[in-house]
Chains A and B, each alone.
Chain A
């Protein structure tokens, strides 16, 4: 009985997880193209730009994403052998790109965002040993608007 519940969860996790992931990636790619022309850099000094600075603001965006049951199981299996945990690769990739996009969306009209920092924190449901499951990515930088 327990095994049936486990299999159901695994299948549900795989189905919904894959669907949600591909949908999320589509949305990320669409928005990345939209913000393609906004310079987003990790340098401490702004790119040379004509015009006068009219606005300086701390831009930030964050997101908490959870991994599905199937990938969690996969990662637990991977824990036995060690090596590359590819199950979590898409999780962190999606979270970082989403947070960066939200940071860009938080400052409409900005000319450039400089000194971008990304911070990752794992959010565990309970303090059980190293259960990653969901992560938070927080992206922040200085948005400068020239005119």
Chain B
């Protein structure tokens, strides 16, 4: 017997494929599966939302604690906004008991909470130059209720979370990665919702005043004050202000809405 001591010419125990190739194939597969899952469940959520009555929704959310914000001191303004909203509801019939509160905050924003509750920040009231502008913002929030977007985004978020939990278990690097990837898709969806709410607001505005003057004022102001870098738009949940102005103008022309002078927003100081 003799020992030859020859070494093998190639390593048979290691695959020829490079790790990078492997990564691309696997990532493609995972993202594809997640997207299909997400779309299917997303549709299911959208469908089932139609079957949840506003009463059930109210009961559901009564169980949760929602941020009410600090009440504004100037009660007169709150009262004025509430009166305005009551008038608006003639133009926007909703199956909700819509309530509105003014929160003392510098933010120029309004938020639609589940259960038909709108929170307006006083920064918004300080900034609006006309009643029409305010009506547009309120109409936008009413549009969210009309389309039940608050339920939708909640449902989709839940779907995303369930997928990640199912596939990977809690606290997983891969899960976090997928979450941020699909989050971008979710934001595109959210931008569509915002545009739809804008459209509804325009209708409300036209119904209330008979014209759509002042509809773009709010976004014009935002655009002039806010310099968001171009790259961040991809991550934004709302469409860019300029795009919203353009869309609104185009829509007003398409629907033959008139534009007339605006009514000033004055509240007796108290």
A and B touch in the complex (CB under 8 A): yes
The SS class assigned to the A binding surface is helix
**A86 lies within 8 A of B177 (CB):** no
Residues of A within 8 A of B6 (CB): 36
In Å, the complex CA distance between A37 and B22 comes to: 37
**B176 lies within 8 A of A3 (CB):** yes
B154-176 toward A: CB 8 Å interface, digit per residue (1/0)? 00000000000001100011101
Apart from A6-B173, A47-B1, A77-B27, what 12 extra A-B contacts exist at CB < 8 Å? Answer: A33-B7, A36-B5, A37-B3, A38-B5, A70-B19, A78-B26, A80-B167, A80-B168, A86-B17, A87-B19, A87-B22, A93-B13
Chain B contributes a number of interface residues (CB within 8 A of A) equal to: 26
Contact of A77 among B13, B15, B174 (CB under 8 A): B174
Residues of B within 8 A of A2 (CB): 176, 180
A59-113 interface (Cβ within 8 A of B): 70-71, 73-74, 76-78, 80-81, 84, 86-87, 89-90, 92-93, 112
Contact of B5 among A3, A37, A92 (CB under 8 A): A37
A115-126 toward B: CB 8 Å interface, digit per residue (1/0)? 000000000000
Residues of B within 8 A of A84 (CB): 15
Contact of A39 among B5, B13, B17, B20 (CB under 8 A): B5
Residues of B within 8 A of A32 (CB): 7
The SS class assigned to the B binding surface is helix
CB distance from A96 to the nearest CB of B (A): 9
CB distance from B133 to the nearest CB of A (A): 36
Residues of B within 8 A of A112 (CB): 3
In Å, the complex CA distance between A80 and B174 comes to: 11
**B3 lies within 8 A of A90 (CB):** no
**B14 lies within 8 A of A74 (CB):** no
Residues of B within 8 A of A74 (CB): 19, 22-23, 26
Q: Please list the residues of chain A having a beta carbon within 8 angstroms of any beta carbon in chain B.
A: 2-3, 6, 14, 18, 32-33, 36-39, 41, 47-48, 70-71, 73-74, 76-78, 80-81, 84, 86-87, 89-90, 92-93, 112
**A71 lies within 8 A of B19 (CB):** yes
Residues of B within 8 A of A80 (CB): 26, 29-30, 167-168
CB distance from B116 to the nearest CB of A (A): 35
Is B53 an interface residue when CB atoms closer than 8 A count as contact?
Answer: no
Closest B-chain residue to A38, C-beta based? B5
**B174 lies within 8 A of A39 (CB):** no
Is B11 an interface residue when CB atoms closer than 8 A count as contact?
Answer: yes
CB distance from B132 to the nearest CB of A (A): 41
CB distance from A117 to the nearest CB of B (A): 18
Closest A-chain residue to B17, C-beta based? A86
In Å, the complex CA distance between A74 and B20 comes to: 9
CB distance from A14 to the nearest CB of B (A): 7
**B172 lies within 8 A of A76 (CB):** yes
Residues of A within 8 A of B168 (CB): 76, 80
In Å, the complex CA distance between A41 and B4 comes to: 12
Given contacts A74-B23, A78-B26, A86-B17, contact A93 B173 (CB under 8 A): no
What are 30 A-to-B residue pairs whose CB atoms are below 8 Å? A2-B176, A2-B180, A3-B177, A6-B173, A6-B177, A14-B20, A18-B19, A36-B5, A36-B7, A38-B5, A39-B3, A39-B5, A47-B3, A71-B19, A74-B23, A76-B168, A76-B173, A77-B23, A77-B30, A78-B26, A80-B167, A80-B168, A81-B26, A86-B14, A86-B15, A86-B17, A87-B19, A93-B11, A93-B13, A93-B14
**A76 lies within 8 A of B174 (CB):** yes
B146-205 interface (Cβ within 8 A of A): 167-168, 172-174, 176-177, 180
Residues of B within 8 A of A36 (CB): 5-7
CB distance from B196 to the nearest CB of A (A): 29
